[in-house]
Structure 1
Amino acid sequence: MLSLRIRFQQLRALSSVARTAHQIDNSSEFLSQAPHRKHPGILRLNMACLPTEAQDAVQVLLQKNNVRHLEEHVLSLNNYLWSRKRPPEDRQLREKAMELENKFRENTNFKSADLNIYQKEEKLKNDVLNTLRKNTYHWQPLSYTDQLGLVYLAARFDGGFAAVSRALQEIYQRVPDFNPQTLMDFGSGVGSVSWAAHGIWGNKLKEYMCIDSSSSMNDLSELVLRGGSDKGEMHISGIHFRQFLPVSPKVQFDLVVSAYSLNELPNFAEREKIIQTLWRKTGGFLVLVENGTREGYQLLMEARDIVLKASDKEVWDHRPAYVFAPCPHQLECPKLAGRSPLPCNFMQKYQPLRFSWNPSVGWEKFSYMIFSRGPVGDNDSQWPRVIGPVLCRPRHVHCKMCCSDGKLHHDIITAKRHGKDLYRCARNSEWGDRLPAMISSSCPDKTQFDEKESSS
């Protein structure tokens, strides 16, 4: 009871300083064209559903191959992929080894007179290596065989499709004049990106370049496109498969996507090289999607620094990089400022594949980053992003947002203080949407919320 009272006092304190936090931005006069429940900051998909042709192809392939204990394999693979971390860097291992060596040298057992110098050094070396083995994450590359590819198809096809669809939908909605004709998908896997992009832009997309190092995955992706049969017609035309990333920057693609692939690279140097190559190949938008975990978020922040700092020496397209989404600014991510950075992630509702063990509705938690060649949009690019659940209460709304000033805000929006239009837009917004508002220059710093509260 005491904790609830303290919590209520904190919320009242926040409400007292959020009086002039935001004002409605109706510069495009959207309020005269659409109701508040359909304001242009709403980006969510009600339900992401794989096309019927794709779902039927999955059923045909799994029935034909009859993978034993499929449910157990799906659960195991999902848990492994969700908990997977980045491979440790050699520099980090050396630093850790030095710390352990200094620690063991101070140990009384090491100073024992019963051991000569050689024995002491050997014991020290063994102690350091054994401790490193026990406490270091053992990253292993995933080799997708025919069977593992089928398990991945059953485990991740629907969720991956949902996350990518949500990211691409934002481009489609915010930049209606963008009509890509070419797409490159790095780490294409079972083809989620191609299905998602085709569902949004349809036949406007003429060419798909799908790149995956596993020939088994490329074959499986093509089989899904053919309805599960070698002799079937391709549901999407213009798709080409390759095992290696073309490095020449002379040919660009309107849309470049990498979904759930950065953690498959063995070290930072390789990730930096790949990200730079992907950016060189980008003519319009570069879309990166990863798990909505701390690891996935940090992979995207790493990519953000690589692209924005423009450290690539081989530059053919001199148009600068801009963060199109989800950040409403080009500044450092405020979520990195806390002692223990929390991931900036989002949720997308989707219809799972038709398996007995799947629920009727699934939720994909993901993180994403979209870069554009040059600035895109006008004032609406500064609209704050809702980065947590919106809490609708009687006559007020709690919104946790990342704003154009590069700070996190917890605003309590009311009709009396902020106007009826902004209040109604806030009540109809959800996690991941943008609020059609401009931040006030006089907005006090006290509206920032700390990382502990953002996790509650």
Structure 2
Amino acid sequence: MISPELPPSIKAALDDALQGTARTELAPRAASISAAYRQGGHSGVIRSRADALAYALVRMPATYAAVAASLNALCELCADIAPSTLLDCGAGPGTASFAAAQAFASLGTFTLIDANPALRSLALELAQHDPRLAQLGYLAGDARATLAKAEPAELVIASYMISEISDSAQRALADLLWQKTADTLLVIEPGTPAGFARIRDVRARLIGQGAHVLAPCPHERACPMVEPDWCHFTQRLPRSRAHMQLKAAEVPYEDEKFSYLVLSRQAPAERAARVLTQPQLTKIAASVKLCSDDGVGIVTFPRRDKAAYARAKKLAWGDALRGSDSQ
């Protein structure tokens, strides 16, 4: 399991990059970038080094936390997974690649793709602080056109980038991501109804092309989630002092909501139900909302069954629940 916090080397690299840059200069840039994204914008609003730094301080920690949580879910179910090559599509400042490097000591080749020159430049600068990433390859250009030219990789990640392209382009990109996946594909989107809708579309499309779902779903049938509900998870992470200053935040932590999907060329050795919300505990029972082989529903663990109740009390939103754990 890897920590949801940025690695010390990347934190130190960001501190070095900030030398000589006033926080008062970055705060309005961070606010402008956040507003643009909320209105459906994309990374094209990041045009300078100062913009890239503001983005990295405000969004990079939360994005890293979501990627780390998704990789932890993958490793929990596939303890022996050991990819040697990574393809990071829409890599931005390198966030997903930094998380993958922490999760897999086996990774030796890192290939990143992004069209934004300011984010690409920052990623290369930050990578110099990590010996394993210092020689990463960063391909510049449009995601689909550049991805088409890239070599396949054992682990492919598309983190918070599908939303930046049109619906028709999303379908074509999903196909191409799967074509470039030699083993495992991880897709992450914001934990909103719209973000989940994109994840569900990718899921259905690629299952139709032979993909197997590793997480979070316990099956490959049609998604049983019914509107207005949607499948998403949350990862809490501490805020740095700079982050709090830029966002004018009052609490020292942030809860990043995200939706994710892990697909594989290989069928999983086992399936696990997924906890979809924080379990509710009462004096009578523990109620757990699960997505299982039977669909989405509430499973109750009565307090009189001390062993089952004790297991349920340890569960958290996003946990995998194997069949033996629910007995």
Same fold, TM exceeding 0.5? yes
Higher-Rg structure is 1
In structure 1, runs of 5+ residues without a counterpart are 1-42, 86-138, 228-232, 311-319, 441-456
The counterpart of 1:414, out of the listed 302, 306, 315, is 302
| Secondary structure of residue in 1 paired with 2:80 | coil
1:364 aligns with 2:250: no
User: Which amino acid in 1 is paired with 2:229?
Assistant: L
Distance 1:301 1:282 in 2: 19
Q: Does 1:349 align with 2:305?
A: no
The equivalent residue for 1:54 is 10
Cα displacement (A) at 1:286 = 0.4
CA-atom RMSD, angstroms?
Answer: 2.4
**Alignment TM-score, normalising by the size of structure 1:** 0.64
Counterpart for residue 444 of structure 1: none
* Alignment partner, residue 387 of structure 1: 276
Residue-by-residue CA offset, 1:326-348 (whole Å, 9 max, x unaligned): 1111122222x33xx33211111
Rounded to whole Å, the distance in 2 between the matches of 1:140 and 1:353 is 25
Residue in 1 aligned with 2:221?
A: 331
Q: Distance in 2 between matches of 1:64 and 1:223?
A: 16
d(CA) in 2 for partners of 1:300, 1:163:
14
> 2:192 aligns to what?
293
* 2:175 is equivalent to residue 247 of structure 1: no
Return the alpha-carbon distance in structure 1 between the equivalents of residues 314 and 101 of structure 2: 29
Residues 301-356 of structure 1: CA deviation (Å, up to 9, x unaligned): 1211221222xxxxxxxxx2111111111122222x33xx3321111122333315
Counterpart of 2:157 (choices 240, 243, 257) is 257
Mapped partners of 1:215, 1:51: distance in 2? 24
| Deviation (angstroms), 1:415 | 4.7
Match of 2:111 in 1: 209
- 4+ residue stretches of structure 1 with deviation over 6 A? none
Q: How does 1:40-439 map to 2 (within 5 A)?
A: 48-66=4-22, 68-81=24-37, 83-85=38-40, 142-146=44-48, 147-202=50-105, 204-227=106-129, 234=131, 236-244=133-141, 245-247=146-148, 251-265=151-165, 267-310=166-209, 320-335=210-225, 337-338=226-227, 341-355=228-242, 356-357=244-245, 359-378=251-270, 381=271, 383-405=272-294, 407-416=295-304, 419-437=305-323
- Structure possessing the higher relative contact order (Cα contacts under 8 Å, 6 or more residues apart): 1
Q: How many equivalent residue pairs?
A: 316
**Partner Cα separation in structure 1 for residue 43 and residue 240 of structure 2:** 27
Superposed CA offset, 1:245-271 (max 9, x none): 23158x421100010100111x22211
SS state at 2:203 partner: helix
Distance 1:248 1:58, change over 3 A: closer
Question: The residue matched to 1:64 in structure 2 has which SS?
Answer: coil
- SS of equivalent to 2:281: strand
What letter is aligned with 2:273? P
1:182/1:205 contact within 8 Å kept:
yes
Indicate the SS of the match to 2:185: strand
Q: 1:186–1:211: 8 Å Cα contact kept in structure 2? A: yes
Greater share of residues in strand: 2
Q: Which residue of 2 aligns with 1:31?
A: none
Q: CA deviation at 1:59?
A: 2.0
Distance across 2 between alignment mates of 1:343 and 1:321: 22
| Alignment partners' CA distance in 1, 2:182 and 2:32 | 38
How far apart, CA to CA, are the structure 2 residues paired with 1:71 and 1:246?
34
Conservation of the 8 A alpha-carbon contact between 2:199 and 2:260:
yes
Instruction: Determine what percentage of the aligned residue pairs are the same residue.
Output: 24
Question: Does the CA contact (< 8 Å) of 2:187 and 2:262 recur in 1?
Answer: yes
Distance 2:268 2:135 in 1: 28
Q: How far is the alpha carbon of 1:207 from its aligned partner?
A: 0.3
Query: In 1, are the aligned partners of 2:36 and 2:45 still within 8 Å (CA)?
Result: no
Q: C-alpha deviations, 1:207-236, integer Å up to 9, x for none?
A: 000000112211110111224xxxxx7562
Flag structure 2 segments of 5+ consecutive residues without an equivalent.
none
CA distance in 2, matches of 1:259, 1:354: 25
Equivalent in the alignment of 1:16: none
Offset of residue 179 of structure 1: 0.6
